[in-house]
A and B are shown apart, each in its own frame.
Chain A
Amino acid sequence: MVMVSMALLIWCAGWWLNGRLANSSASNTSAVKLLVPAIFGVTLLIVWELLVRGLEVSLVILPAPSVIAARFATSLPVLWQDFQQTILKGALSGYIIGCGAALLMAIAVDRSDFLRRGLLPVGNFVAALPIVGTAPILVMWFGFDWQSKAAVVVVMVFFPVLVNTVAGLRETSAMQRDLMQTYAASYWQSFFKLRLPAALPFIFNGLKISTTLALVGAIVAEFFGSPTVGMGFRISTSVGQLALDMVWAEILVAALAGSAFYGMMALIEKTLTFWHPSQRG
């Protein structure tokens, strides 16, 4: 009971502190901007720890953060192996192949009205296929190793990038395109100098959505058959062994990797689309 009331107390203290910081005159400094979410996160972790211990929640239902952290620290080699297998081999290669193919296809669609009318509905259809249905089939086709996971990722990321890129390439106004014509620019000249830059915010939108899709796809595909390594493998087998601390450690890795991946894309976007109104200020 002591721990539960302590948890409540700390929650209120964190709330009060954040309220004071946000309303203070220093609220616009970057230090406070970082401090407020940090305090919120730390409070959440402490409250979680105290509640789980105070209410004696079984490890099987929800392990305390300290238990997860201990497991994380002692399983670094295993986690690194799983990270390589699932994220570097499965998700990243699938992401590169899928997004690359979608970009090329978008250009083909842009050049041909026939493809736009015929291919986009098919793409829509493929995007609507549930992963739990396609993953076992792709595992059957491409084997148990990372190749089948990359294939699942390709299927998942292809469509969002394609649709966004096609929309982006239609973004320029008729006046701008006419101007390029009066300069006697060829298709590729006006493509690289005008239409591709104009499409970048759209393309990055698709690429950013796809970062998380790629991780989810690679992890879930491992549930349907995998070698004895990988994050999805570890999560599903650890649940069977009731090693929930391991499951949470893998979730932590996935969260960290996902945020880093997304952050990286956002950073590239910022440098390439500095001219766009959304990046100013």
Chain B
Amino acid sequence: MKTLLTAAAMALGAASVAQAADEVKLQLKWVTQAQFAGYYVALDQGFYEAEDLDVTILPGGPDIAPTQVIAGGGADVTVEWMPAALAAREKGLPLVNIAQPYKSSGMMLTCWKDTGIAAPEDLANRTLGVWFFGNEFPFMSWMSQLGISTEGKGEKGVEVLKQGFNVDPLLQRQADCISTMTYNEYWQVIDAGVAPDELITFKYEDQGVATLEDGLYVLEENLNDPAFVDKMQRFVRASMKGWKWAEENPDDAAEIVLDNDASGAQTEEHQKRMMSEVAKLTAGSNGALSEADYQRTVKTLLDGGSSPVITKEPEGAWTHVITDAALN
């Protein structure tokens, strides 16, 4: 018993030495994949270590709401889409955007061409698959811009299905269109044996309803703590270094992601393709949130039709304090 206690005490001592660096827990929005390559690269290439950070990356999944994790104190910083973050803010969980590695949105609607859909107007009277869990907001806003109701099929309405995170509804023709990401589900459709010219896609970015995806969010109250701010500045600097490294070396970045995928569910081909698509979305961002992009996101959300995501203009939902210091 005594030896056991000594051993435990020694182990504790060793652990505390190893953890002299500042701890940061990062909660991802989804499972380990190239969508988050920048963070895994920064960890793997020692960019975090160089900033004296001990970063733990917590993968997400279909049943994990990053906003809830951070509200419960399970993470210091989380990757989240801005619509969900702003909705949470209005519900009383004050999330603040501290950095925005993704410049463009990768979300789109993928439809069968042979259904006769050629333009957004043709979407009326169709069955569309939409992701919920906070991802439905840009879609709702787009439909209300087109003057299409989401309450059911009709001349001026569409049937909306809550789609799971797979592409079966399209392949089975249960839906005429489904939500896809340029870097993930679209390629699952292609991999299922569908030729790209059998499909027609509408990028939210092109429809003017794109909302900011994959930003870094922290709780507002933590920003009053100078030590936390300093830690986040180092974290954002190292993460952005990771992102730029990933953009330049997409294949190596995909390998690093695969090495970190504890589930072993990802394949090399899929991850390399995902990384090259993700690089297109992160290109053009140095990590600082563009105010114009933020305004466009807020406008899209406020135009959300019958049940808007946010009912009033948010205040203090973003800050440049971190990126100003981190990037100069």
* A240 touching B133 in the complex, CB below 8 Å, given contacts A60-B71, A144-B174: yes
Closest chain B residue to A135 by CB distance?
A: B164
* A227 touching B92 in the complex, CB below 8 Å, given contacts A61-B72, A237-B136, A240-B65: no
Q: Which residues of B contact A112 (CB under 8 A)?
A: none
* A140 touching B160 in the complex, CB below 8 Å, given contacts A59-B91, A60-B88, A241-B87: no
Q: How far is the CA of A82 from the CA of B148 in the complex (A)?
A: 23
Q: How far is the CA of A14 from the CA of B162 in the complex (A)?
A: 45
Closest chain A residue to B88 by CB distance?
A: A242
The yes or no answer to B172 lying at the interface (CB within 8 A) is yes
Q: Which residues of chain A in 193-249 are interfacial with respect to chain B, using CB atoms and an 8 Å cutoff?
A: 222, 224-228, 233, 236-237, 239-243
Closest chain B residue to A137 by CB distance?
A: B168
Q: How far is the CA of A60 from the CA of B71 in the complex (A)?
A: 7
Q: Which residues of A contact B169 (CB under 8 A)?
A: 144, 225
* A60 touching B132 in the complex, CB below 8 Å, given contacts A144-B162, A225-B163, A240-B84: no
Give chain B nearest CB distance to A188 CB in angstroms: 45
Q: How far is the CA of A264 from the CA of B166 in the complex (A)?
A: 40
Q: How far is the CA of A136 from the CA of B161 in the complex (A)?
A: 14
Q: Which residues of A contact B135 (CB under 8 A)?
A: 240
Contact B162 A59 (CB under 8 A): no
Contact A239 B133 (CB under 8 A): yes
From A60, A225, A226, A237, B93 is in contact (CB under 8 Å) with: A60
* A241 touching B134 in the complex, CB below 8 Å, given contacts A59-B91, A60-B67, A61-B71: yes
Q: Which residues of B contact A225 (CB under 8 A)?
A: 161-164, 169
Give chain B nearest CB distance to A93 CB in angstroms: 20
Contact B71 A226 (CB under 8 A): no
From A60, A136, A228, B91 is in contact (CB under 8 Å) with: A60
Q: Which residues of B contact A144 (CB under 8 A)?
A: 161-162, 169, 174
Q: How many pairs of residues, A versus B, come closer than 8 Å at their CB atoms? A: 77
Q: Which residues of chain B in 77-110 are interfacial with respect to chain A, using CB atoms and an 8 Å cutoff?
A: 84, 87-88, 91-93
Contact B68 A242 (CB under 8 A): yes
Q: Which residues of B contact A224 (CB under 8 A)?
A: 164
Give chain B nearest CB distance to A161 CB in angstroms: 29
The yes or no answer to B286 lying at the interface (CB within 8 A) is no
* A240 touching B92 in the complex, CB below 8 Å, given contacts A144-B161, A224-B164, A233-B162: no
Contact B92 A60 (CB under 8 A): yes
Closest chain B residue to A225 by CB distance?
A: B164
Does more than half of chain B's interface fall in helix, strand or loop, or is it mixed? loop
Give chain B nearest CB distance to A66 CB in angstroms: 15
Query: What is the 8 Å Cβ interface bit string for chain A, positions 17-40, against chain B (1 contact, 0 not)?
Result: 000000000000000000000000
Q: Which residues of chain A in 125-148 are interfacial with respect to chain B, using CB atoms and an 8 Å cutoff?
A: 136, 139-140, 143-144
Q: Which residues of A contact B84 (CB under 8 A)?
A: 240-241
The yes or no answer to B150 lying at the interface (CB within 8 A) is yes
Contact B71 A236 (CB under 8 A): no
Query: What is the 8 Å Cβ interface bit string for chain A, positions 50-70, against chain B (1 contact, 0 not)?
Result: 000000001111000000000
Q: Which residues of chain B in 132-154 are interfacial with respect to chain A, using CB atoms and an 8 Å cutoff?
A: 132-136, 150
Contact A242 B93 (CB under 8 A): yes
Contact B93 A58 (CB under 8 A): yes
Q: Which residues of chain A in 104-159 are interfacial with respect to chain B, using CB atoms and an 8 Å cutoff?
A: 136, 139-140, 143-144
* A228 touching B87 in the complex, CB below 8 Å, given contacts A237-B132, A239-B65: no
Given contact pairs A140-B168, A241-B309, a sample of 6 additional A-B residue pairs in the complex whose CB atoms are under 8 Å apart:
A58-B71, A136-B164, A140-B172, A225-B161, A225-B164, A233-B162
Which residues in A have some Cβ–Cβ distance to B below 8 Å?
A: 58-61, 136, 139-140, 143-144, 222, 224-228, 233, 236-237, 239-243
The 7 closest A-B pairs by CB, nearest first: A240-B133, A240-B134, A237-B132, A60-B71, A242-B91, A144-B161, A242-B88
User: What are 30 A-to-B residue pairs whose CB atoms are below 8 Å?
Assistant: A58-B92, A58-B93, A59-B91, A59-B93, A60-B67, A60-B68, A60-B71, A60-B91, A136-B166, A140-B172, A144-B161, A224-B164, A225-B163, A225-B169, A226-B161, A227-B161, A227-B162, A228-B150, A228-B160, A233-B132, A236-B132, A237-B133, A239-B68, A240-B65, A240-B133, A241-B87, A242-B67, A242-B68, A242-B71, A242-B87
